[in-house]
Structure 1
Amino acid sequence: MEDEQENIRGFLVDHCSDQLSSILLSPDTRLHYPLLLEFAELLDSNPKLANSVFNQPALYLPKFDKGAKEAQEILRKELKSLRNASVKDYVHVRINICGSPLEFPETFPSIGRVRVKHRGILLTLKGTVIRSGAIKMVEGDRTFECRRCKHRFKVSPELETGNSVPKPTFCPSEKQKYCESTSFKLLEENIVCHDYQEIKIQESTQVLDVGAIPRSIPVILKDDLVDIVKAGDDVIVTGILTARWSSDMKDVRCDLDPILVANHMRRTNELKSDVNIPDDTIMEFKKFWSEFRDTPLKGRNAILKAICPQIFGLFTVKLAVALTLIGGVQHVDASGTKVRGESHLLLVGDPGTGKSQFLKFAAKLSNRSVITTGLGSTSAGLTVTAVKDAGEWMLEAGALVLADGGLCCIDEFDSMREHDRATIHEAMEQQTISVAKAGLVTTLSTRTIVFGATNPKGHYDPELSLSVNTTLSGPLISRFDIVLVLLDTKNPEWDAIVSSHILAEAVAEKGSDENLQGIWTLTMLRRYLHYVKASFKPVLTKEAEKVISSYYQLQRKSAAQNAARTTVRMLESLIRLAQAHARLMFRNEVIQQDAITAILCIESSMTTSAIVDSVGNALHSNFTENPDQEYVKQERTILKKLACGEEESD
């Protein structure tokens, strides 16, 4: 037993001396300090001890905490610089399993696969925080003294009965034979209290099979672990699985509910943007663009064709989806206000125009995504709600909060609740949700791309404004960078092209990947979008600035029908879309071509056009044979119209 404690002490002195030194030098003796320990190092150094920790953590973790205190005393004696430092009583060893050989399904199960066999071992779970409770203060060990033999002993609180400390029933003294005393005195001066918080984590919907219900499990955080995560965070928790009696209600059977007592917690939000892209993949991207140096737009279209390849044509929609997912560059203006970089996209269209398919495909391309309907899948809906759990109010995160840092796809956008309609304005523009419910006043972060889809109310009337056709308010529509209207008009030529394409796909062999344009598979496309988003921060050139400014002024003049769209927000949208197009084209500066493409995107989302003679139906937009030649014509037309507009204003 003493040898084991010596091994623990020796390991901590050898591998954690830097952390222990900083703990010794800390001024506050009442704080709880974490001591991070890599399980892989322990396994290399002492496999037998590592095995004991894994199989009996409830027994060995307190030994490690005791060893940490003893290791501090050893270091203080050895190092002169630490002679005046104080030994801290509350040091907790936190074991990090990630990166060790234990990272396999048996010890790293999904939350839905947690079973009785996992009880008592060091278990690691991965999920998203959906609720975070209030921080409470709970009593730790109590010290009792036997009135007969004066033996002192500690009694720990029982988690099963709700952290209450049971009264001892007999004296555990081994000094006197059979001290049968049942009378004990509580020593008040030795009571230690701990910070205590309960959170609930739910398994990520992206790893679930279709039809599976995401399971959740409560997690107990103590001392230094409290208040380090909030609703919407992705976490990896290592701890001990135990059980707690469910609340006793009349005529309801009292069961044991599983609960995880956390030992180590790590947020993985920051890791989301760092998608692992191999160097050879980056070389492939550069090689691809060097091949299309003379015809860059043809190269761009090859990438766009890989977006939702099962849908024929719809060039405008595929371009809009790519630009929305890439987004612009976030910046802070002179007053310190953040101007969002994320773009929002709304598809308004008749049934059967492929809106939901685009939503599903966009969710696959994004590293973090939530798909929901306007009504919302839970009581939390799209934003956030206050729920009462065991007599305590806590916040439950909705779809927009859970998608923070990713993409939120909302189908049936027009059918959202009134409460969500009021809150989504702030969530889309300021990228926060301010909550004041049941005494809980807070602000949650929603740095998310919103991709909405809705059907028009009845038959779409081109003569009326978007607000009337969709029953969405003007301020809400103005927050969308692109609004595309997909009308299912009867066009015999288009119907013939589409039907022949679908039939050809049905006849073709399943193994053929011709329509994926060579290298652009789903994985490559996903990597490409993440790479350009992380690597490029495009800046506007003078030519691009002039084009965007002229177009904005022209739209403001002829804004009779599009009053909801032609606000200052439209100018910001143009900049964001131009930056996104520059990123898509593998460039670090926004040139005139990017500005004109942004204008064409905005034009296709206007009910009446200020520039292009016929806006056309986005549903019937197809990929052209020579996009670069086509662009030259469009550029000439747009620049001519903008020049005329400037002359008129003079």
Structure 2
Amino acid sequence: MNDYPHVAELIFKKPADYLPKLDYAAISAQRLILKECEGGSASTVKDYVHVRINILGSPLESSETFPSIGKVRVKHRNILLTLKGTVTRSGAIKTIEGERRYECRKCKNVFPVYPELETGNTIKPPLACLSDRSEGCEGTKFVFVENSTKYHDYQEIKIQESTQLLGVGAIPRSIRVILQNDLVDIVKAGDDVIVTGILTAKWSSDLRDVRCDLEPVLVANHVKRTNELKSDIDIPDDVIINFKMFWEKFQDTPLKGRNAILKGICPQVFGLFTVKLAVALTLIGGVQHVDGSGTKVRGESHLLLVGDPGTGKSQFLKFAAKLSNRAVITTGLGSTSAGLTVTAVKDAGEWMLEAGALVLADGGLCCIDEFDSMREHDRATIHEAMEQQTISIAKAGLVTTLSTRTIIFGATNPKGQYDPNQSLSVNTTLSGPLLSRFDIVLVLLDTKNPEWDKVVSSHILAMDEPSRAKNEEDLTNSWSLSMLRRYIQFVKRYFKPVLTKEAERVISSYYQLQRRSGTQNAARITVRMLESLIRLAQAHARLMFRNEVTQLDAITAILCIESSMTTSAIVDSVGNALHSNFTENPDIKYAKEEKLVLEKLRLG
């Protein structure tokens, strides 16, 4: 296209005329090559060859040819258009008639007749002779030529524009896309796609008492899946150099550097060090690997915040969604008919799969508020989605498995007044198997603490003072939202930490100690807890800009797990995560904690 701009312009303006000619040229080229090749009798001409046009990076790429789905208008009809979105529905694969040949009884010429998309892909006999050589022929009687019908594979999908690109209050628009021949069955619900095709219209179904309208439809010529590009954020070289310089500066006090990064997470909420650390470790996650049997062990971590109203749970959910390149926010009851997983819907007499929140968040983050109020069906299905990272569907004859490689960040209120003497299952009405799938479960209790209340009120009131607010702003500017996003994506992409012997020894000892002493937390102390410890230790190593998991990472992972336990096996009294604050000298504090943990594990 770059070499022949005039051809590109013709294809853009009249794709319906020129794309079939390109397909015919591809078949003719095969015949020509086959004729020129000696001894080419074993080769055959492939009739189902199609020329696919990708306008990305070509002279045709512009705002006019690459609008958002919500900006598609009548002016875009019958030109080559490119749309980007997420597949929310995928229909069954059908076979349709693509061409029939008729013979005129008057002039004996044979001509093809093609289906009309507007009226539902039906081929109707012509009203008058369509042959090119029959000028003046007014024949109205035709004979169908036997065995002249050509068939095509056919599938309808629906794509929806990304909610990340929309403003507040905007409704995400969707459009129907028709896939034919080699394009069928290459995408499924939840995939991110870029589709190039011809915009046309189709009559909506003629139901009684329903107005019959023309619905915009994109007939696809080229489809590109962009799932592997979901987490790609442009990270310039100078930003990477800044990351390295930052860690060189904090080489002697690494935990102080880590805390400087954590302060950039949800800066409007004062303190809550434990929660901010848990959010960072969850978003970064561990390293996915395949065990000896070929089973994939997930690298994504899951986090659940259980707390009283007004403890900032929803604020952390919203901020985490901003940090992730692909995020879906929903509530337990506020989901659509597709719920959190997937549902089968009937459209024009045909069953189709419609993706829910977990499938649409594949490769990103799914934030679920009011986690305890989700439907019983979704609660049963989410078990598989969290651990195996798939959703198996058998609805209305549609049996399939969809991918849900997503981080789940849940928030819920306790059932009534939180009772510390009862287990987490009783306080949250969530089952033990579901709780065991969360790597970290933090309980935020709004207990009366006069000293904490005084500090928090001073901080909130000081934010109204211009001078103090400016100082706070200068502090957080170094780790702004965009910088944090880039940092998280960078460490996830380039660091694959490996456990050292010291880290393995600490994690193994702690797991065995929990298994011996765990009675009230029996639902949480399973093999999954061991995997959670490894994931959190790997995430902390990534956060610390390292490629190996040291004893420091293992002990930090243990302290995170301890915070999420009702009763502690290491620390004498489990502190309230709500009242955890940043310390002046975190490295000195860690040295004391390390000594305590190693003594309890009898490794000191």
Give 1:441 shift.
1.1
* SS of aligned partner of 1:361: helix
Give 1:174 shift.
5.4
Distance 1:178 1:346 in 2: 78
Give 1:505 shift.
1.6
| Deviations 1:56-106, CA, capped at 9 Å, x for gaps | 111111111122223334444566686864333222111101122433322
* SS of aligned partner of 2:122: coil
**In 1, are the aligned partners of 2:9 and 2:60 still within 8 Å (CA)?**
no
Aligned to 2:570: 611
- Does residue 473 (structure 1) correspond to residue 434 (structure 2)? The answer is no
Distance 1:172 1:402 in 2: 47
Q: Which residue of 453, 471, 494 corresponds with 1:495?
A: 453
Distance 1:482 1:273 in 2: 23
Distance 1:399 1:369 in 2: 9
| Deviations 1:366-422, CA, capped at 9 Å, x for gaps | 111111111242111111111111111111111111111111110000000010011
Aligned to 2:192: 234
* SS of aligned partner of 1:206: helix
**In 2, are the aligned partners of 1:305 and 1:515 still within 8 Å (CA)?**
no
Q: Which residue of 139, 145, 150 corresponds with 2:103?
A: 145
Give 1:172 shift.
2.7
* SS of aligned partner of 1:190: coil
1:410-449 equivalent positions in 2, closer than 5 A: 410-449=368-407
Aligned to 1:48: 6
Query: Is the alpha carbon distance of 1:512 and 1:150 closer, same or farther for their aligned partners in structure 2, counting shifts above 3 Å?
Result: farther
Query: Is the alpha carbon distance of 1:513 and 1:149 closer, same or farther for their aligned partners in structure 2, counting shifts above 3 Å?
Result: farther
Distance 2:109 2:501 in 1: 85
Aligned to 2:418: 460
Distance 2:581 2:42 in 1: 77
Aligned to 1:301: 259
Query: Is the alpha carbon distance of 1:81 and 1:368 closer, same or farther for their aligned partners in structure 2, counting shifts above 3 Å?
Result: farther
* SS of aligned partner of 2:506: helix
Aligned to 1:63: 21
Q: Which residue of 267, 278, 281 corresponds with 2:236?
A: 278
Aligned to 2:147: 189
Q: Which residue of 186, 207, 222 corresponds with 1:264?
A: 222
Query: Is the alpha carbon distance of 1:603 and 1:467 closer, same or farther for their aligned partners in structure 2, counting shifts above 3 Å?
Result: same
Q: Which residue of 315, 319, 325 corresponds with 1:361?
A: 319
Distance 1:103 1:309 in 2: 40
Give 1:241 shift.
0.6
Q: Which residue of 594, 605, 613 corresponds with 2:553?
A: 594
Distance 2:476 2:132 in 1: 79
Distance 1:363 1:72 in 2: 51
Distance 2:104 2:321 in 1: 64
Give 1:551 shift.
1.0
Residue type of the alignment partner of 2:225: R
Distance 1:175 1:486 in 2: 83
- Does residue 372 (structure 1) correspond to residue 330 (structure 2)? The answer is yes
**In 2, are the aligned partners of 1:376 and 1:382 still within 8 Å (CA)?**
no
Distance 2:289 2:210 in 1: 56
- Does residue 620 (structure 1) correspond to residue 582 (structure 2)? The answer is no
- Does residue 508 (structure 1) correspond to residue 456 (structure 2)? The answer is no
| Deviations 1:200-259, CA, capped at 9 Å, x for gaps | 000011001111111111100000100100000000001111001110011222110111
**TM-score, normalising length from structure 1?**
0.90
- Does residue 578 (structure 1) correspond to residue 537 (structure 2)? The answer is yes
- Does residue 519 (structure 1) correspond to residue 475 (structure 2)? The answer is no
Aligned to 1:160: 118
* SS of aligned partner of 1:158: coil
Distance 2:389 2:272 in 1: 30
- Unmatched tracts of structure 2, length 5 or more: none
Aligned to 1:561: 520
Distance 2:477 2:104 in 1: 80
Distance 2:150 2:70 in 1: 36
- Does residue 312 (structure 1) correspond to residue 273 (structure 2)? The answer is no
Q: Which moved more, 1:279-288 or 1:627-636?
A: 279-288
Query: Is the alpha carbon distance of 1:602 and 1:288 closer, same or farther for their aligned partners in structure 2, counting shifts above 3 Å?
Result: same
**TM-score, normalising length from structure 2?**
0.97
- Unmatched tracts of structure 1, length 5 or more: 1-41
Distance 1:511 1:143 in 2: 77
Aligned to 2:79: 121
**In 2, are the aligned partners of 1:295 and 1:628 still within 8 Å (CA)?**
yes
Query: Is the alpha carbon distance of 1:295 and 1:517 closer, same or farther for their aligned partners in structure 2, counting shifts above 3 Å?
Result: farther
| Aligned residue pair count | 603
Distance 2:179 2:325 in 1: 28
